[in-house]
Amino acid sequence: MGNEMGKLLETCMLACFGASWPVSIYKSYTSRTAKGKSFLFVFLLLIGYIFGTAHKIFYERDFVIVLYILNLIFIAVDMYLYFRNQKLDEERDRKQRMREEWSANESCD
């Protein structure tokens, strides 16, 4: 009974995280910015899921591994969006600097 309860609690935890990732992905996709997002936080979660998945593969094979893999996919998508958004931020910053330089040069004329 204890092991069954442990699996139920683990499943509920992973389901809650799994339900949260699409919200994070949607926000990352629509905001088009990496500002306010912690890469280290997401990276550490990725490492945690990798360890959890490895545990399931080597020591406790059961259906819960599907939730670990699903969460890994969600994290991978969110990390991809982080890097995409970081490039978009850099491009916006570069364009802003160019506008400011152009404006400063024009005011000198």
Is the confidence at residue 12, as pLDDT, over 90? yes
Distance, CA of 52 to CA of 15 (rounded, Å): 14
Q: pLDDT class for 109, splitting at 50, 70, 90?
A: low
Give the pLDDT band of residue 16 (cuts 50, 70, 90): very high
CATH numbers and ranges of domains, the chain: 2-108 (1.20.1280.290)
pLDDT of 90 over the 90 cut: yes
DSSP the chain: -HHHHHHHHHHHHHHHHHHHHHHHHHHHHHH---TT--HHHHHHHHHHHHHHHHHHHHT--STTHHHHHHHHHHHHHHHHHHHHHHHHHHHHHHHHHHHHHHHHHHHH-
